[in-house]
Amino acid sequence: MSRKIRIGSRKSRLAVIQTELVMDTIRETHPEIELELITMETTGDRRLDVTLDKIGGKGLFVKELDRALLEGRIDLAVHSLKDMPMEESSRIPILGYTKREDVRDVLVLPEGGKPWKGRGVIGCSSFRRRIQGERLFPQAEFRSIRGNVLTRLEKLDRGEYDALILAAAGLKRLGLEHRICRYFSAEEILPAAGQGILAVQGRAGEDYGFLETLAKEGAGLEALAERAFVRYLDGGCSSPVAAYARVEKDRLYLQGLYYIEEEDSYALGSREGRPEDAEEIGVLLAEEMERKYGRKGGTGV
């Protein structure tokens, strides 16, 4: 591979900031490599008129970048891991992960607004957030909202919504941490699999030795456990299945959310084990919850 590396990103401000974080990491260890940022708009960015589950899920945020990788127009792609399909491609595998940013979901209120009492309209982009948020705010109405983080904040501040539930990671990377009014614990709203982690994707068979730092990040083990849990339950990016793993010393702790479609409800479970058994832990927790609650619960949206 040439010493000029073309890195693909979505066009949004957050996506570019995230890609630049990865580029900075590469520059720290390999300053001799010339890096070129190439941005592109994805189908998920263009289709804001309908919810993602109606047009194919969040995999639509990676399709154009996948094609560019396969066609050789870019050498790497950077994604929010939670936006990627749970099935990894053997032709364009994930090569490394960044250190995890804050994994929590947060509540955001209109700028300069009055204290919120849990009523009104909450803008919420995912079913996962809605079904958990309804337990926290039973008097509120949950309404779908599309668009990037800045677009959603504009809609909030215009009065179209009374509150939003967003990921802390995106707001912090955008320098908008001051907009956060409340952090939700994992017990209140379990995060999406891979939330807060950036994934670097490339072509199989290429020499990506310059990514050695990213390949060693501990977040990769957490990602493997979370994605194995969701994948086993047939959960995709638009399903309400959620999972959160954390590695502490020599143990990996995994929490999983199992959606019970018939009741439009959910249950939480947990399991722990050795970090090197991350994927097995994810599958075992999924199997355990499936036995306890019936047929696979990740397919209802």
Same domain, 125 and 142: yes
Q: What is the pLDDT of residues 149-195, one digit of tens each?
A: 999 999 999 999 999 999 999 999 999 999 999 999 999 999 999 99
* 79, part of any domain: yes
* 147, part of any domain: yes
Question: Among all residues, which ones are annotated catalytic?
Answer: 83
Distance set, CA 104 to CA 7, 66, 101, 235 (Å): 28, 28, 9, 20
Same domain, 159 and 240: no
d(CA 243, CA 283): 12
- Specify the CATH number for the domain of residue 69: 3.40.190.10
**Secondary structure tally for the chain: helices H, strands E:** 10, 13
Helix (H, G, I), strand (E, B) or coil at 246: strand
Same domain, 39 and 3: yes
d(CA 231, CA 88): 10
- Number of independent structural domains in the chain: 3
* 192, part of any domain: no
Q: Which residue has the tokens 């939480």?
A: 268
- Cα three-residue angle 149-54-243, rounded to 5 degrees: 60
Same domain, 175 and 231: no
Spatial CA neighbour of 52 closest among 146, 193, 164: 146
Would the pLDDT of 55 be above 90? Answer: no
Would you state the pLDDT for residue 211?
A: 93
Would you state the pLDDT for residue 213?
A: 86
- The pTM score is 0.88
Spatial CA neighbour of 80 closest among 152, 173, 150: 173
Q: What is the pLDDT of residues 102-112, one digit of tens each?
A: 999 999 999 98
* 301, part of any domain: no
* 190, part of any domain: no
* 233, part of any domain: yes
* 236, part of any domain: yes
Name the residue range of residue 229's domain: 218-294
Would the pLDDT of 299 be above 50? Answer: no
Work out the end-to-end distance of the chain between its first and last CA atoms, rounded to an integer number of angstroms.
Answer: 43
Same domain, 201 and 93: yes
Residue range 29-38: mean pLDDT, rounded: 94
- Specify the CATH number for the domain of residue 273: 3.30.160.40
Q: What does R_g of the chain's alpha carbons equal in angstroms?
A: 19
Would the pLDDT of 51 be above 80? Answer: no
Would you state the pLDDT for residue 48?
A: 47
Same domain, 52 and 134: no
